[in-house]
């Protein structure tokens, strides 16, 4: 426990000496002054626990002095020492100074020591209560902040779940539509091939029928890719995946968007690229999100580079998506993978694409990073370990 400082204020030297003698065996740091004016500088520089002040002093009475102390240093315990039975003084000390005790002259040393010990205990209790109150307030603030964060996370997860359910419904619908398209496509292909057998090989009609056959095969490929992509990836295991193949398959889905946004697609695919272990549909979803965002970033046209490369020294394969779009401001870069963060106008995006992509890549023990310069474009790099 720290040593308490007791300040005695009295204009009579013999009283101050008597007070010091009464407490010489107590573990207090005792300071004595002969007037209130001398006491004020001490209060400015010292941490005083208790003041024992005489009432009758020159320039400023004890009650006036303790009233001043109460206003400026309310935590100090105030005791008034008086040899007068002045009820007006007592009333002032009670109402204005809020004195803890009154000690009459002459005093009893034992009673005085008991009073001072009680005053010190009150000082300690007040200080401890204040400390506990501050601690409680700090903990309440922290709890409020944690509760607010938890509520935000619950709201985010709820929205993500709703969006996930919507995406699952869209995938289910796409799969159903693809199945419905498959049957008439098979019929068109069969009839086309029958007509080809009955048509002179070098005729104009044969040329047109062959074109129909090729386009029908192309439609069947697209339908099959839609069926593959609409499968529930969470129920599938992880297989060996060729990221070059993922790029080629994903391009099928964004060809129309690229034409709509006047985006020129360039590919730089590394030959003999090592395979990674993962879920092809999920990795395709990552790439589709990155390519779609790249198209939206180039509203007036531009170039999109899709590249793969091997980093054998690190045992990883990298997939890069670069665009020449509007770029991302530096202050927004740390938040691009946060759920619901989007730079698109309201209604044009959920802000979940990149956060979902981040989670998928993380589940593949990989990393996804972004570099961007406003007005110049962005580069997203996905790095995934090579399959063992």
| Residue 58, both tokens | 């020159």
Q: Which two tokens stand for residue 113?
A: 């020591």
Check whether 373 has a pLDDT greater than 80.
yes
- Which residues does 341 contact at the CB level (< 8 Å), separation at least 6? 332, 335, 351, 354, 355
Q: Partners of 305 in the beta sheet?
A: 266, 322
Instruction: Examine residue 106 and say whether the peptide bond preceding it is cis (omega within 30 degrees of 0).
Output: yes
User: pLDDT (tens digit, 9 = 90+) per residue, 39-54?
Assistant: 999 999 999 999 999 8
Residue ranges of domains in the chain: 4-107, 146-230, 236-385
- Which of 79-88, 107-116, 164-173, 201-210 has the weakest average pLDDT? 164-173
Q: What is the pLDDT of residue 305?
A: 95
pLDDT above 90: residue 379: yes
d(CA 112, CA 103) in angstroms, rounded, equals 8
Per-residue pLDDT, 99? 84
Per-residue model confidence (pLDDT) at position 64:
87
The Cα 51–Cα 48 span in angstroms is 7
Over range 113-135, report the average pLDDT.
Answer: 90
In whole angstroms, give the CA distance from residue 207 to residue 202. 7
Residue 25, judged by CB atoms within 10 A of its CB (0-12, 13-18, 19+), counts as: exposed
pLDDT at 103 over 50: yes
Residue identified by tokens 């029908």 is 216
As a whole number, the mean pLDDT across the chain is: 84
Note the residue count of the chain: 388
Q: What is the mean pLDDT of residues 211-215?
A: 84
Classify domain 146-230 at the CATH class level.
Answer: mainly alpha
235-274 per-position pLDDT tens digit: 556 789 999 999 998 888 888 788 888 999 999 999 999 9
Alpha carbons 352 and 280: distance in angstroms, whole number = 20
| Res 222: pLDDT | 67
**Looking at domain 236-385, which CATH architecture does it have?**
2-Layer Sandwich (3.30)
Q: Under 8 Å CB-to-CB from 93, ≥6 apart: which residues?
A: 55, 62, 63, 66, 80, 99, 102
What pLDDT, on a 0 to 100 scale, did the predictor assign at position 347?
45
Mean pLDDT of 154-170: 63
Provide the pLDDT for residue 162: 60
**Torsion angles phi and psi, residue 278, rounded to 5:** -175, -170
Taking the whole predicted model, whether its pTM rises above 0.75 is answered as: no
| pLDDT greater at residue 130 or residue 319 | 319
Determine the pLDDT at residue 173. 63
**How many angstroms separate the CA atoms of 48 and 45, rounded?**
9
Q: Is 245 helix (H, G, I), strand (E, B) or coil?
A: helix
Whether 359 shows a pLDDT value over 60: the answer reads yes
What is the CATH T-level fold of the domain 4-107, as seen in this structure?
Rossmann fold (3.40.50)
pLDDT over threshold 70, residue 17: yes
Residues in contact with 172: Cβ distance below 8 Å, sequence separation at least 6, in sequence order = 230
């Amino acid at each position: 426990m720290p040593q308490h400082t007791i300040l005695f204020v009295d204009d009579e030297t013999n009283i101050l000496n008597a007070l010091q003698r009464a407490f010489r065996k107590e573990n207090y740091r005792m300071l004595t002054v002969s007037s209130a004016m001398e006491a004020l500088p001490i209060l400015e520089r010292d941490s005083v626990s208790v003041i024992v002040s005489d009432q009758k002093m020159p320039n400023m009475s004890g009650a006036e002095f303790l009233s001043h102390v109460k206003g400026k240093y309310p935590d100090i315990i105030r005791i008034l020492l008086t040899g007068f039975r002045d009820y007006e003084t007592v009333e002032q000390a009670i109402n204005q100074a809020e004195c803890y005790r009154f000690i009459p002259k002459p005093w009893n040393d034992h009673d005085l020591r008991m009073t001072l010990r009680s005053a010190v205990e009150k000082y300690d209790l007040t200080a401890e209560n204040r400390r506990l109150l501050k601690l409680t307030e700090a903990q309440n603030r922290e709890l409020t902040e944690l509760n607010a964060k938890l509520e935000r996370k619950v709201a985010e997860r709820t929205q993500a779940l709703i969006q996930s359910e919507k995406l699952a419904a869209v995938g289910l619908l796409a799969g159903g539509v693809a199945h419905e398209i498959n049957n008439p496509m098979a019929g068109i292909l069969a009839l086309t091939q029958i007509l080809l057998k009955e048509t002179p090989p070098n005729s104009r009609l044969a040329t047109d029928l062959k074109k129909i056959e090729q386009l029908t095969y192309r439609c069947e490929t697209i339908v099959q890719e839609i069926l593959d992509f609409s499968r529930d990836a969470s129920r599938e295991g992880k297989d060996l995946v060729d990221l070059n193949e993922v790029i080629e398959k994903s391009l099928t889905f964004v060809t129309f968007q690229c034409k709509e946004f006047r985006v020129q697609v360039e590919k730089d695919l590394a030959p003999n690229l090592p395979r990674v272990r993962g879920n092809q549909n999920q990795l395709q979803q990552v790439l589709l999100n990155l390519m779609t965002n790249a198209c939206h970033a180039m509203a007036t046209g531009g170039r999109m580079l899709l590249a793969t490369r091997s980093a054998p020294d690190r045992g990883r394969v990298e997939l890069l998506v670069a665009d020449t779009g509007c770029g991302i401001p530096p202050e927004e870069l740390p938040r691009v993978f946060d759920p619901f963060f989007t730079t698109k106008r309201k209604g044009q995006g959920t802000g979940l694409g990149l956060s979902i992509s981040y989670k998928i890549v993380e589940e593949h023990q990989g990393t996804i990073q972004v570099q961007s310069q406003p007005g110049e474009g962005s580069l997203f790099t996905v790095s995934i370990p090579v399959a063992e």
